[in-house]
Amino acid sequence: MGKIVITEFVSLDGVMEDPGGAEDFKYGGWTFQINRGEDGDKFKLDETMQSDALLLGRVTYGGFAQAWPSREGEFADKFNNMRKYVVSSTLRDPEWTNTTVIDGDLGEAIAKIKEENEGDVVVHGSRQLAQALIDQGLADELRLMVFPVVLGAGKRLFGDTSEKQDLELAESRTVGDGVAILVYRRPSGK
């Protein structure tokens, strides 16, 4: 059975908007201003190479589908060939290889996705989807790469939830120039 993993770059104040600078956010590209070091790069590479599938919201999917098919290399090959699920009520005919559109009850879709995959089904970006997965208790793990910067503005990972969410810290370490990698899981038995 697969597991749903949300992986995000976040600022100390929880902003996740435009870490790479491809959007029109006033602080776009903020992650490139702080070195995450070789260990941070290895963490992200290992995470991708160990993933079975991607689960993305429509906006993030659109950006990935535009960027990755034209890229080459081991990382790009992995992204381009693995299964992809996109949550969207408007996308009908996705062109990126191995893509399935999810439209309907999120809980039912997640149960099916977990049955179809043995390993990690990873959510990158996709703020609204990540918030819904957290709120509905559908995320098995959160992997946060927390950059030592306060942006003060921007879309945040955590929004209002319907109830308190308990998590256990499974791993923590610091890489590069003070970037914290924090891995949280749902408590055993929940």
Asked if residue 190 has pLDDT above 60, the reply is no
Q: What percent of the chain has pLDDT over 70?
A: 99
Q: How far apart are CA 133 and CA 190, in angstroms?
A: 15
Give the pLDDT confidence of 120-162 residue by residue, as tens digits.
999 999 999 999 999 999 999 999 999 999 999 999 999 888 8
Q: State the DSSP code for 69.
A: G
3 has pLDDT over 80: yes
Q: What is the mean pLDDT of the chain?
A: 94
pLDDT of residue 188: 77
Residue-wise pLDDT for 37-68, tens only, equals: 999 999 999 999 999 999 999 999 999 999 99
Mean pLDDT to the nearest integer, 116-120: 96
pLDDT of residue 177: 98
At 117 the pLDDT is 96
pLDDT of 75: 86
DSSP code for 186: P
The set of residues, in sequence order, having a beta carbon less than 8 Å from that of 128 and lying 6+ positions away, is 57
Number of Cβ atoms within 10 Å of the Cβ of 175: 18
Of 47, 122, 110, 57, nearest in space to 83 by CA: 122
Sign of CA dihedral 35, 39, 42, 47: negative
